[in-house]
Structure 1
Amino acid sequence: RLSIAEDGPVALAAQVHADGFRAALVGLGGRIVATAPGCEAVDADPAKVLGSVVAAGAELLRETGRRCVGAGLAVPSAVTEPEGLALNPLHLAWPAGAPVREIFTEQVRAAGLPGPAFAANDINLAALAEHRHGAGRGSRDLLCVATGHRGVGGALVLDGRLHSGSSGLALEVGHLAVNPEGRPCHCGSHGCLDVETDPLALLTAAGRAPGPEMSLLKQADDLIRGQYDDPAVRAAVEVLIDRLGFGLAGLVNILNPDRIILGGLHRTLLEADPDRLRAVVADRSLWGRSGGVPILACTLDHNSLVGAAELAWQPVLDDPLAALA
């Protein structure tokens, strides 16, 4: 019988988000072997940030003595293909169109790490990881919608493959309008999922001022889990669930997925009142309750990191002898 070696090769996975960045080593099967302490400051210069996260990953490799097969990066932006440009890093101070794949590759090479380097959108990578190792296993047409630390993203796995569109920009669901009279969005519209159902929207709807002591995502999660009996918090949760449900119903009508998985704050909203969210989606979709699509919570911790590692592992899976020679 074959099994995965406990001390086998790993991929370097890196993630950058609005509240910091983190590096990890990930083995086959999505097993996180080691993680570096997260950093809570993101410089306006992508090269500095990516240099720091690669340095943290290189230190993990030295400490563990593991062989590295490559590196993957998850960023909170649409990433063009094949150029690897972060087209709209809205919640970072990075310039639009920053060449993140090129910068990441340069930093990986400067650190003396072997193997190819990749970069992609964080929610795309979360969907990839969940489809292979988490709540999306066995799904053929999987829709993933999730909040980051700020904003909302989406991804679609079709017939077992991540669907990124003609140039990597598919499924920017954060800019689906769910409240035409709502808040102005970065895209120029009003009431998009990005500004109506993210952690800041929850805190604002509940009348809570965001604090500087922790990430907005953690503040919103803690508020729901710790103060759900507060009428203001419960009302805010219901508002966000309804708006999220409107958006999901529209996506169901267009995409007809066989499963929906929710991550970030959306997972917490589902856990808080699953019946309400599922009812809103069923009532607003063309198939109604008789054709309701299963809605599940993402199950992997750090799924964007795991997905970033999957990018680096793919050449090994495609041709092990060539990649590991």
Structure 2
Amino acid sequence: MPNTWLELLSQNAQRKESKHGCVVVIAAPTIETLRVFEKWFLPQNCSFNNKSIDLLGYTSCNLQDEDADNVTIELYSLKFPLSTNKVQYLEAFLDVQSAKIKWCFLLDWGLSDQRYWLRQLSESIDTLKNEQASLMAGSITVACLNSDQIYFKLRNTTEWHSNHVEFLQQSLRSFCLLKKCSLIYSDSSDSESSGLQVFAKLLFDNYRGIQTEFVSTCKLLIPYGSDTEGLIKTLDDTFDPSEVLDGDFITQRYEKMIPGPKMSDPQEFEEVGENSPFDLDHPYTVDVQKKLSELYKLSKKGFANTKV
């Protein structure tokens, strides 16, 4: 086990409640998505120690709060969408019921899984609730990375049209409104902007210090408490934000409206195969008796061959 984890386990031997100013759990669909998040939202030289998104990651950094005081932030990374096994694995290092924890769900416009974003967000929050996580208002941020890929999809595919983008945006905004989350679209092609200050303000609940952006296609910035049903309906006044949490809306409207491969197409998503040694939900298993029997037969055969 790496020294970083040994030190962390040692620190948590007597307690799970962090002594640091804030704990953040980042849930990302791929390791590449996590690296994009590091680049745009974390200080330089602050990166997670995991090389696979299927492994728990950890890092820490110092950020300045609204009083210009340096605050140490602990960050953990898990695979999105969350599962019960992954959250329980995280509990070895921290108390998920702590009100200090902030959760950040990363979505990636560079992938092709937009059709299942609402389902994944809903199931992830349900998983946290089942594990008795303390989900305070504003404690969850939904960050859509690589949003410049929206224009790529509109220009270079026949499936995506502006009505799809607007419907998806209304759905995400409605979800975040009802679940009391913040919503960010991050354009990775904008080399002059950084999300570090925005991220820090979200962590310290300084929502009023964030300049909102409701209009931009790929640079939305909607902190908790700033959106309303009326603002969401300006894109389409027939859209009903109150319906997005209904299972029928997700499966019958959203997933039928948004382009993309069906969940049954395994090649289209970066999934770890069942029984992979990196898959926490399906741990690798070995038939010990069978292996011992095979080793015994090999050793017996080798011994016989050495006889004169």
Pick the TM interval, shorter chain: under 0.3
- Normalised by the size of structure 1, how large is the TM-score? 0.26
Rg bigger for which structure?
Answer: 2
More helix by share: 1
